[in-house]
Amino acid sequence: MRLKINFIKFPAVKFWDRLNQSIFKLSFCIFLILLLAELVEPGFVSNWFNPVWLLMIALFSGIVLVVDN
């Protein structure tokens, strides 16, 4: 008879939760950095790209995170 002993128990990785967290953290941080750049130099970001899209992604993933937990 063979005994199977698992000394270290790794927590199961919740793939979508973890992915959602990464997306939330990254998009929110980048949004903040771009917002700061825009405040320092008006037009630096918004002349080329609308940073509100990043905020919307962060908001959406944040809401999903809160609802899931």
| Token pair 């825009």: residue | 38
| CB-based contact 57:25 (threshold 8 Å) | no
Q: How far is the CB of 3 from another protein (least distance, A)?
A: 26
Q: Which residues bind another protein (CB under 8 A)?
A: 13, 15, 18-19, 22-23, 26, 30, 34, 37, 41-49
Nearer to another protein, 1 or 13 (CB): 13
Give least dist CB 19 to another protein, A: 6
Tokens of 35: 């917002």
| Type of residue found at 54 | L
Residue closer to another protein, measured from CB, 18 or 63: 18
Separation CA 50–CA 27 (nearest Å): 13
Alpha carbon distance 40, 38 (integer Å): 5
CB of 4 to another protein, least distance (A): 20
